[in-house]
Chains A and B, each alone.
Chain A
Amino acid sequence: MSLKVDRDSMAFTFKGGMLPMTVMELASADPERIREQLAGKLSQSPAFFQHTPVVLNVEKLDEPHLALERICAVCRAHKLLPVAVRGGPDPVKQSAWALGLGWFPPQEASRPRSLESVAPDEPTPAEPEAGQATPPAGGRSGRIYRGTVRSGQQVTAPEGDLVVIGAVNAGAEVLAAGSVHVYGALRGRALAGIHGDLQAGIFCRELHAELLSVAGNYKRLEDIDPRLLGTSVQVRLTDNQLGITTLA
């Protein structure tokens, strides 16, 4: 018996993904008030309401029970497609599932998890970082890190790009909402576009990365063409595929 997996015969493959998603933060649980506001918005920007998938965020509501079914009906009537609910007490979770919707934990609790889903094996504990980090001149966001990012350290740019002037060693993790630039050897994990920016990229002087990820699409060291190892490369998403090309 062979365990060989024939790619052509597979019905599907699971892939980690981070898609941009509209979150509808409910400040009221009253379906009538939601209807009024939606009707007003629809007349302003009809292009937005094209069966747009939305996540209903009910974290701000302090109600044990919601007329979830009616809220969904109001949304659908205005060409919004509720796909999931975020937050709320247990009864809300149960009724979301009963309506065939997904349920996400509240934002605070889910933040570390969203990282795990991108980097499936062995989440690295966050370590207070060493080295000096300064915002790049002229920009209001992004981050410049000078020095070696060492095993077990995590350097994050929650907004904008991350620039590392030094190497990222094996077992270290660098993350950015925008692109990740490493002016040195990249031996650890690099995750760009952690909030779903598909235009983000990863750039490094010397590629030995354990993991490369752009907006949730990732490649492990094993998946990287060995000929590219040790060269200076850029990593970008093209047609949902992570492409690695040499920087001449």
Chain B
Amino acid sequence: MAKIIVVTSGKGGVGKTTSAAAIATGLALRGNKTVVIDFDVGLRNLDLIMGCERRVVYDLVNVIQGEAGLNQALIRDKRVDNLHILPASQTRDKDALTQEGVEKVLDTLGKDFDYILCDSPAGIERGAQLAMYFADEAVVVTNPEVSSVRDSDRILGLLSSKTRRAERGEDPIREHLLITRYNPSRVDLGDMLNLEDIREILAIDLLGLIPESEAVLRASNQGVPVTHDADSDAGQAYTDTVARLLGEEVPLRFHEYQKKSLLSRMFGGGRR
């Protein structure tokens, strides 16, 4: 059976879809058969980030409503062989999703894949609850700001009460903290919450820390998950994150402010 991982946050715009795409890519690059599902019905974005928007024919809602088979809706990634995308519908809304339908899709995918990533919509309503309901693990994406931390806290409460594992009294969902858009120099200035404060409030394991990076925006607009940009800080940070998700111990990087040396300032310091 596949491991089901939900990427969630409560707050919008913190980097859920970017992270879901980057982690799915990383897992596939490490040889795992991976599928990433866009649960944001009505606000489809994952296909853009994955660069497969021109190849969408059928979507999650079609499959749930029996209008298409799973194999017709799954899109094979162009860059990594064992990575698939199940896009959301842009013309429907979250009411088109049913718990039974989602369960059936996940059960079927679970037979073929090692990892199923569910890219949750923002909020705590139906779409978000369905995305997390069947999860075994959760990646809670948080920005270093108070509102994001509070919303993540709320989501953690829901993960421990409104999911199948919680309702059945099984082992709780493994919760991981992923901090994105971290800017060490602004943390030092006091503009952003620091790593330790976030960890203390949310009280869950830190899976990874992604620095604020131009590479992320560039990757989004090019439709290439940032994990492929192995020279960039964000790409490396996601690779570290995936390694930790697979149980490896990797030291934390990019969380301290590095003053640029004279030489790197003179010669531009390469790509960031």
Q: Which residues of A contact B (CB under 8 A)?
A: 127-131, 148, 150-153, 166-167, 169-172, 185, 187
Q: Which residues of B (182-208) have their CB < 8 Å from a CB of A?
A: 200-201, 203
Chain A residues whose CB sits within 8 angstroms of the CB of B203 once the complex forms: 148, 166-167
B154 and A130 form a contact (CB under 8 A): no
What are some 5 contacts across the A-B interface (CB < 8 A)? A150-B157, A150-B160, A153-B157, A153-B161, A170-B153
Chain A residues whose CB sits within 8 angstroms of the CB of B201 once the complex forms: 167, 169, 187
B161 and A128 form a contact (CB under 8 A): yes
**Shortest Cβ distance from B201 into A: residue:** A169
User: Closest CB of chain A to B77's CB: distance in Å?
Assistant: 36
Q: Report which of A129, A166, A171 forms a contact with B161, defined as CB distance below 8 A.
A: A129
The SS class assigned to the B binding surface is helix
User: Closest CB of chain A to B13's CB: distance in Å?
Assistant: 19
A152 and B160 form a contact (CB under 8 A): no
Chain A residues whose CB sits within 8 angstroms of the CB of B150 once the complex forms: 151, 169-171
Interface residues of B, count at CB 8 A: 14
**Shortest Cβ distance from A206 into B: residue:** B200
A150 and B166 form a contact (CB under 8 A): no
Identify the interface centre among B157, B160, B203: most chain A CB within 10 Å of its CB.
Answer: B157
- Asked if B224 is an interface residue, CB under 8 A from chain A, the answer is no
Chain B residues whose CB sits within 8 angstroms of the CB of A170 once the complex forms: 150, 153
Chain A residues whose CB sits within 8 angstroms of the CB of B156 once the complex forms: 148, 150
Chain B residues whose CB sits within 8 angstroms of the CB of A131 once the complex forms: 160
Chain B residues whose CB sits within 8 angstroms of the CB of A127 once the complex forms: 157-158, 161
B166 and A130 form a contact (CB under 8 A): yes
**Shortest Cβ distance from A153 into B: residue:** B157
Chain A residues whose CB sits within 8 angstroms of the CB of B160 once the complex forms: 130-131, 150
With A and B bound together, what is the CA distance between A171 and B149 in angstroms? 11
User: Closest CB of chain B to A112's CB: distance in Å?
Assistant: 20
User: Closest CB of chain A to B205's CB: distance in Å?
Assistant: 13
By Cβ-Cβ distance, the 6 closest A-B pairs, closest first, are A130-B160, A150-B157, A151-B153, A151-B154, A130-B161, A152-B154
Q: Report which of B157, B162, B166 forms a contact with A151, defined as CB distance below 8 A.
A: B157
Chain A residues whose CB sits within 8 angstroms of the CB of B162 once the complex forms: 128
Chain A residues whose CB sits within 8 angstroms of the CB of B158 once the complex forms: 127, 152
Chain B residues whose CB sits within 8 angstroms of the CB of A150 once the complex forms: 153-154, 156-157, 160
Chain A residues whose CB sits within 8 angstroms of the CB of B166 once the complex forms: 130
With A and B bound together, what is the CA distance between A194 and B158 in angstroms? 26
With A and B bound together, what is the CA distance between A169 and B151 in angstroms? 11
With A and B bound together, what is the CA distance between A130 and B165 in angstroms? 12
